[in-house]
Amino acid sequence: MRMVCVAGGSLSGLECARLLAAGGLEVHVFRRLHDPSRCFWDLHPFYEYSPRSLVVTDDTPLLRKAVDGWLADGHVVDDCNCRVGRMSRTSKGTTFAPSPPLRRVRDAHQGGLLGLLGSIAQHMPSTCRDRPEVLAHLAASGDRWLASDLSGAEL
């Protein structure tokens, strides 16, 4: 069986890993990437200030298909309690103009984006392996890539 690695454990990285595994590949997912601009144990600002729900539009068929799978697996639920639109202030007061109806989903377990990523990662196909190491370096070597951790050990 061929082995591939996915660098990054975002929604797109985890969905990529799931699709590769469904195609018969052994997949190693490295969700912890070396970022020298911050501490490994601190949340990235993206996660601290992420919206509570994910908008799924009609022009994103791959995302819609992934969200349908996450709904079926219980990772997300429809989020119908959001008001999306534009506030306008005029001389007559403040008005709210709702946006066209959009499908919105949120983490089913109230863990936010990080909780959703963890839930999806725990339920990957058996040929996916969630690697705990910090991926610090990738280098091309002939027809393959070499990955190493912070100490320089090959992964």
Share the mean pLDDT of the chain: 83
Distance CA 19, CA 23 (A): 6
Q: What is the pLDDT of residues 27-69, one digit of tens each?
A: 999 888 877 665 555 554 445 556 677 888 878 888 899 999 9
Q: What is the mean pLDDT of residues 128-155?
A: 87
% of the chain surpassing 70 pLDDT: 87
Distance CA 38, CA 120 (A): 25
Q: What is the pLDDT of residues 79-98, one digit of tens each?
A: 877 667 788 888 888 888 87
- Residue 153 CB coordination number (10 Å): 10
Task: Look at residue 33 in the predicted model and tell me its pLDDT.
Answer: 81
Confidence (pTM): 0.74
Task: Look at residue 42 in the predicted model and tell me its pLDDT.
Answer: 53
Q: Comparing C-alpha atoms, which of 10, 16, 83, 17 is closest to residue 52?
A: 83
More confident residue, 53 or 101: 53
